[in-house]
Structure 1
Amino acid sequence: MSAPTLHPAHTADAVERARDAAERESWAEAYALLHAHDLHPSRALTADDLSVLADAAWWSGHIDESVTARLRAHAAFLAAGDHRGAGLAAWWLHYEYRSLGRPAAAAGWLHRSRHHLEDQPPCPEQCFLAWTDAEEAEQHGDRAAALAAARRMTRLALRSASPDLVALSRQAESAVLLANGRRTEALALLDDAMCAVTAGELSGVFTGWLYCLALTQCMEAADFGRAVEWTNAAMEWCGPPWTGRPPEAVPGATSETGPESGPASLTTPAARAVASGENPFRGVCRAHRVEVLDLLGTWALAEEEARQACREVPVDCLESAAAAFYAAGDVQRRQGRLDEAAVSYAHAHELGRIPQPGLALLRLAQGRADAAVAGVDLALACQSDPRHDLLGRARLLAARTEVALAVRDVPGASKAARELDALAGDVPLLRATADTALGAVALAEARSGPALRLLRQALAGWLELRVPYEAAQVRMLLAAADRTVGDEEAARLELAAARTVFERLGAVPDARRAAALLSGGKRRRLPGGLTAREAEVLRLVAGGGTNKDIAQALVISEHTVSRHLNNIFAKLGVGSRAAATGYAYAHDLV
C-alpha cells in the first residue's frame, strides 16, 4: 500500500511548526513533526530543514537518524552550490562519526569540510575548523600552533558576533593557555565563557558543550571551587523539564522508551541511547558531579548518582560512564567493600579508563603490596603529558607516596612527594595533597618538627576545601607525629576527630584503625610483653575482626596478621582467639 499523499498546505504548516519548535529548542516536537513529514514527503525538505531534522534527531536520542539526515543535508547544500552550508554539515558529520568511534569516517568528513571552507572568505563556519585545529595541535604537543588556532577561532567568532561561537572560542583559548601553565589568563577566559553559559545566553548544544568542557577542565586543573559551582549549575540546567514539551505532548509523537524496569545497578557497564525528550548532556554532567560529591564526602549520594549516570550517559560518551564506575569504586574501597570496588574498577577498565590509583590502593588494602607498586608505577609511566591532567598526576603521585611508605621504601616515597610538591604550586587542592605527602614522608624519616608543620598546613587546606576524608587521614598522621613528641593529649584529640569523620562516612577500616589507636593510648606500658602493633591486632581480634578485617584495617597482609597472632598467643600463653579476647578485656586493652 502506498503512503497517503498529504495536502501541500498541511506539509508546509508542519515544516513551519517544526522550524518554530527548533527555534524554541523544543527538539522532541521538531523531531516528531519533521520525522512524520519526511515519511510522507509530498514536498522535499530543504537542506536547512534537513539540518534541523539532524539536530532534532540528535537531541532526541536518534543518533543514526541524525547522521542520515546530515548526509542528506550535505548533499542538498552541495547541489545548491552552498559550500559554507556543505562545509558545516561535513564538520558535523566529522564530529558525530568521531563520537561514534569511527575515526576513518570522521577524518574523511573533516577533510571534506576543509575542502569546502578553506577557500572561503572569513566566515563563522570556519570557527569549527579552527577549534579542531587547536585540539589536534594540542594532542601533538604543538602548543604554539594550538594557541594560534584558538586565537584564529576567537577572531572569527568575534567577527560573527555569535554569542555561541564567542563563548566556545574563549573556552578553547583557555584550555590551550592552561596547558601552557598560564593559569590566571586561562581561568579569566573560562570565567568569561561561563558567564554567558550560566546567564542563559547560549543555545542548548553550546551550553552543553561548555558545561562538559569546563567541568573537565576544572577537575584536571584541580580548581575545586569552580568545579563545585559549575557542577551545581549544570545539573540545574540538565534537570527536567529542561526544554520544550515532552514527546507525549506532541500530537502523533510517541516515546520509544518506557519507564525503567528497576533500580539502576553498577554491576554491568551498560550505556544506552538517550530517550526522546531527555537532555543528552545530563549523564555526562552527572558523572562530573559524582567526582565532586566524592571529594565532599557525600558518598551515599555519590554512589547513587554514579548508578544514575551510567544509565543516562549516551553511547557516544562512554568515558563518562567509566569515570562514574571509577568514582563508585573509590567510595566502595574506602568503605571496606573491596570486592564491590574490584568490580567497579574492572567495569571502568572495560570502558577504556585505567583505574588508577584506585586499583593500586585496593591492592594495598588487600595486602598485595607488590601489585600496588607495579600498578601505580605503570600508570605514572603511561601519562604522556602530566600537565594535561594536573589532578590526575597529583593523585598518582600521592598514591605512589602512600604505597612506598607501606613497603618501607622511604626514598621512593620522598621522590614522589618532591615531584608532587613541584607540581602543586599554590593551587589549594594540589597544595593540600602535596603537604600531606611531604608530611607523611617527614614522619617516616623521624623528622617530627617538619612533619607537624606540614601536616597542620595540609589539615588547614583540606578543611578549607571541605574535603572531610582527606582531612581525617591527615589527622591520623598528625596523631602519630604528636605521639612521637610525647603530646598524648593532642594525639587523642586528632584520633577522636578522625574516627568521628570516618564513622560518618562509613569508612569502616579507617574507623577501626582510629579506634584501635585511641585504645592503644590508654597505657604506655603494655602487658605480657606485647609490642604496640601486637596490641593493635589483639584489640581488633577482641572486637570480632577476622584476619582479613584486621589486614584491611592496619594495611598489612593477612600473612602478617597470622604471624602477629602466633606471637600474641605465645606471649600470653593462650591457644585461641576467645582466650586472647578474654585477656584483652581483663587487662584493659579494649
Structure 2
Amino acid sequence: MSAPVTHTATAADGTTTTGSADVVERAREAAGRESWAEVYALLHAHDRHPSRALTADDLSVLADAAWWSGHVDESVTARLRAHAAFLAAGDHRGAGLASWWLHFEYRGLGRPAAASGWLHRARHHLADLPPCPEQCFLAWTDAEEAEQHGDRAAALAAVHRMTRLALRSGSPDLLALSRQAEAAVLLADGRRAQALALLDDAMCAVSAGELTGMFTGWLYCLALTQCMEAADLGRAVEWTNAAMEWCAPPWSGRSTTDAAAGPAAPPAPLPMTVPSGENPFRGVCRAHRVEVLDLLGAWEPAEAEARLACREVPVDCLESAAAAYYAAGDVQRRQGRLDAAAVSYAHAHELGRIPQPGLALLRLAQGRADAAVAGVELALACQSDPRHDLLGRARLLAARTEVALAVRDVAGATEAAADLEAMAADVPLLRAMADTAAGAVALASHGAALPPLRRALAGWLELRVPYEAAQVRMLLAAACRAAGDEEAARLELGAARAVFERLGAVPDARRAAALLSGGKRRRLPGGLTAREVEVLRLVAAGGTNRDIAHALAISEHTVGRHLNNIFAKLGVGSRAAATAYAYAHDLV
C-alpha cells in the first residue's frame, strides 16, 4: 500500500514571514500528533501563496498529509517538489527517500515506467552514502525483486541487510518492517515456525502502539495477507479484529450503519478513492475481515462488509476489492444465489483476480461439469509458485477433489487429495482440508472413510469453521449408512441440516433434509426408486431443476429424466401434482 513516510522536519528558512512561520510550526506540531487532516488544511492553504515557500521537509509533510487525506495526486506532486528541493540543497538522503517513495507510489498507481525511473534515482542518491536508515527501503526492494526471480539466498541477504540498517537506525518502524520482510521470505522458503515467530515480534510492536500510523497500517495489511496465505486462521482472526479496531476510532468520519443491511450484490467496480478524513488502510483491512468472517460462517455480515470494502479500498489496492468480491461470490454460491455469485466472480475477475475455485464450483452447481473441471485445472496450472499462497493452492486442490468425484474421476480425485496431504503437514486448517479430501475419496472408492472424516470433523470444529464441518458430517452420514449404522447417519444429517439452515445454505439444507427423510420408510409408494424419492422431496421443497442438480451432484439433464419417470409412475402431469402426491404419502 502506498503509505508515504515523513522526513524529519527542520527549522523554516528565513524566507517565511512571522505569520507564515506560525502556520508551518502548527502544521509540524500536528504532524507529530499524526493529525493529518489538520496538517493538510494548514499546509495546503499556506502553499497556495507563491511568496510562502515551504522547505523540502515541509513539502514531505504536505505529501504525507495529502495522502492521508485522500488526495493522492497532490501527494505525488508535493513529493516531486520535495525531491527537487532536497536535490537543490545537496541533501542526497532526503532526495533518495523522496525518490523511493515516488517509485512506490507510481507503482501502486499503475505506472511501472515512472516507478522504475524513480527507483533508479533512489539507488543513485543513496548508493554511495555511509549506512543510513533510508537504505532500508532499497534493501526491502532488493528482497522483493530477488524473491520474484526465485533467488531466495539473495532475498535473505537483502532482508538481513535491511535488519542491520534498521537496528543501526534505532527506528521501531523500520525494525518491525524488517522483521515482517524477513518473515515473508522465510515463509516462502517453508521455514514456517521461524517466520511466524518474526511476524509475532513485528506485530507486538504494532499492538503495543510503538509505531507510527503509516507503519501500523502497513504491517496490518502485510501480516494479514501472510496469515491467510499461510493458512494461519488463528492469527488472521486475532489481527483482523485488532486492525479493524485501529482503523475505526480516529477516522470515523462516515457512518457504516449500512453494514447491517440485508444481502445484496456488491457494487460494480468503479475507480476507488478514499474520502478525505478516513483511514486509507480501512478498506484493505476490511477485505481481510471479509475472508475471516466467511470462514467462520458469519455470512450475512461478511457480505455486508464486502460491500463496504469495495467502496473503501484506495485505487492502488484493487486486489483487496477483488478479494472482497470473490468472498461475496462464495457466500452467494453456497446460499444458492447462483446468478448473484456469477456477478460477484465477474467483478473479481475484472479487478485482476482469477475467481477460482469458486467459479468452478459454481459451474458444477449449474450442471456444467466440463467447465468446472477445466476451470480448476487451469487455475492449478497457472500457479507459478504455490509456496507463496498455501491456502490458495489447498483450496484449488480441495475443489479439484470435489469436482473430480462429481464426474466420477476417482483417479483424478485421488491425485488431488494426495497433493493436498503432501502440503498439509501440521497446519490445522490445511490438515482439516486434507482429511476431508481423503475421506471423500475413500468413500467414493469404498475404502475406510470413517477415520479421516472423523479427524476432519474434529479439525473443523476446533477451528470453528461451521460450513466445512457440516459438509464433513454429510460425508460421515454416507459412510455410516454404508457401514449399516443408520442411527449415526441420522445424527450426522440432523446436525448438518441445522448448521446449513442457520447459515442460509439452502441447497445443502435441502439435500440434508432429503437424505434425512430417506430413512423413514423402506417401502416406497408408486414404484418410485430411492433416488426418485429424493428428487421428489426436493421438488416439493420448491427446488428448481438447477437446485436439485446441485443438491444431489447430478446434471440437470438427469434431473429431467428422473422427473419424467416420476410423472409417469405417479400418473401426474405437473410439479404441483407431484408435490401433492408427496405430501399425501408422507414423503416430505
Amino acid of the residue matched to residue 216 of structure 1?
A: T
Counterpart residue number, 1:559: 557
Deviations for 1:10-37, whole angstroms, at most 9, x for unmatched residues? 1100000011111110001111111111
Whole-angstrom distance in 1 between the partners of 2:461 and 2:210: 36
Counterpart residue number, 1:3: none
For the aligned residue pairs, the C-alpha RMSD in angstroms reads 1.9
Amino acid of the residue matched to residue 243 of structure 2?
A: A
Residue 586 of structure 1 deviates from its aligned partner by: 3.7
Counterpart residue number, 1:548: 546
Counterpart residue number, 1:137: 146
1:92 to 94, 101, 104: 101
CA 1:261/1:297 → structure 2, altered by over 3 Å: closer, same or farther?
closer
Residue 260 of structure 1 deviates from its aligned partner by: 11
Whole-angstrom distance in 2 between the partners of 1:265 and 1:553: 23
Residue 544 of structure 1 deviates from its aligned partner by: 2.9
Residue 265 of structure 1 deviates from its aligned partner by: 5.9
Whole-angstrom distance in 2 between the partners of 1:150 and 1:383: 25
Residue 271 of structure 1 deviates from its aligned partner by: 4.5
1:125 maps onto 2:134 in alignment: yes
Residue 568 of structure 1 deviates from its aligned partner by: 2.0
Counterpart residue number, 1:442: 442
Amino acid of the residue matched to residue 451 of structure 1?
A: A
Counterpart residue number, 1:463: 461
Whole-angstrom distance in 2 between the partners of 1:261 and 1:179: 39
Q: Does the 8 A contact of 1:271 with 1:310 survive in 2?
A: no
Residue 523 of structure 1 deviates from its aligned partner by: 2.2
Deviations for 1:385-421, whole angstroms, at most 9, x for unmatched residues? 0111000000000000000000000000000000000
Residue 526 of structure 1 deviates from its aligned partner by: 2.9
Residue 278 of structure 1 deviates from its aligned partner by: 0.7
5+ residue gaps, structure 2, are: 1-14
Deviations for 1:527-548, whole angstroms, at most 9, x for unmatched residues? 3443322110011122232323
5+ residue gaps, structure 1, are: 1-5, 247-256
Whole-angstrom distance in 2 between the partners of 1:26 and 1:88: 22
1:502-541 to structure 2, matched below 5 A, reads 502-541=500-539
Deviations for 1:89-119, whole angstroms, at most 9, x for unmatched residues? 0000000000100001000000000011111
Counterpart residue number, 2:194: 185
Whole-angstrom distance in 2 between the partners of 1:265 and 1:87: 45
1:236 to 245, 248, 251: 245
Whole-angstrom distance in 1 between the partners of 2:258 and 2:564: 52
Whole-angstrom distance in 2 between the partners of 1:258 and 1:551: 42
Deviations for 1:150-207, whole angstroms, at most 9, x for unmatched residues? 1110011001010000000000000000100000000000000000001100001100
CA 1:543/1:98 → structure 2, altered by over 3 Å: closer, same or farther?
same
1:13-52 to structure 2, matched below 5 A, reads 13-52=22-61
1:56 to 34, 53, 65: 65
Given the two structures, how large is their TM-score scaled by the length of structure 1? Answer: 0.94
Amino acid of the residue matched to residue 565 of structure 2?
A: N
CA 1:219/1:362 → structure 2, altered by over 3 Å: closer, same or farther?
same
Whole-angstrom distance in 2 between the partners of 1:332 and 1:52: 44
Counterpart residue number, 1:111: 120
2:542 counterpart SS class:
coil
CA 1:59/1:458 → structure 2, altered by over 3 Å: closer, same or farther?
same
Amino acid of the residue matched to residue 566 of structure 1?
A: N
2:98 counterpart SS class:
helix
Q: Does the 8 A contact of 1:271 with 1:318 survive in 2?
A: no
Counterpart residue number, 1:296: 296
2:91 to 82, 87, 94: 82
Whole-angstrom distance in 1 between the partners of 2:356 and 2:131: 45
Amino acid of the residue matched to residue 184 of structure 2?
A: A
Counterpart residue number, 2:3: none
Larger CA deviation: 435-444 vs 536-545: 536-545
Amino acid of the residue matched to residue 146 of structure 1?
A: A
Larger CA deviation: 157-166 vs 546-555: 546-555
Counterpart residue number, 2:567: 569
Given the two structures, how large is their TM-score scaled by the length of structure 2? Answer: 0.94
1:327 maps onto 2:336 in alignment: no
Residue 570 of structure 1 deviates from its aligned partner by: 3.0
Residue 259 of structure 1 deviates from its aligned partner by: 11
Residue 261 of structure 1 deviates from its aligned partner by: 12
CA 1:88/1:454 → structure 2, altered by over 3 Å: closer, same or farther?
same
Amino acid of the residue matched to residue 105 of structure 2?
A: E
1:163 to 134, 158, 172: 172
Whole-angstrom distance in 2 between the partners of 1:10 and 1:258: 37
1:352-363 to structure 2, matched below 5 A, reads 352-363=352-363
Deviations for 1:477-509, whole angstroms, at most 9, x for unmatched residues? 000000000100000000000000000000000
1:584 maps onto 2:582 in alignment: yes
Whole-angstrom distance in 1 between the partners of 2:255 and 2:249: 16
1:304-383 to structure 2, matched below 5 A, reads 304-383=304-383
Whole-angstrom distance in 2 between the partners of 1:584 and 1:260: 45
Counterpart residue number, 1:491: 489
2:478 to 474, 477, 480: 480
Whole-angstrom distance in 1 between the partners of 2:312 and 2:541: 43
Aligned residues: 571
Whole-angstrom distance in 2 between the partners of 1:548 and 1:418: 31
Q: Does the 8 A contact of 1:8 with 1:42 survive in 2?
A: no
Whole-angstrom distance in 2 between the partners of 1:411 and 1:332: 30
2:250 counterpart SS class:
coil
Residue 242 of structure 1 deviates from its aligned partner by: 4.2
CA 1:75/1:287 → structure 2, altered by over 3 Å: closer, same or farther?
same
Counterpart residue number, 1:253: none
Amino acid of the residue matched to residue 144 of structure 2?
A: E
Residue 274 of structure 1 deviates from its aligned partner by: 1.0
Counterpart residue number, 1:250: none
Percent sequence identity is 85
Deviations for 1:287-332, whole angstroms, at most 9, x for unmatched residues? 0000000000000000000000111111111111111100000000
1:148 maps onto 2:146 in alignment: no
1:65 to 59, 69, 74: 74
Counterpart residue number, 2:5: none
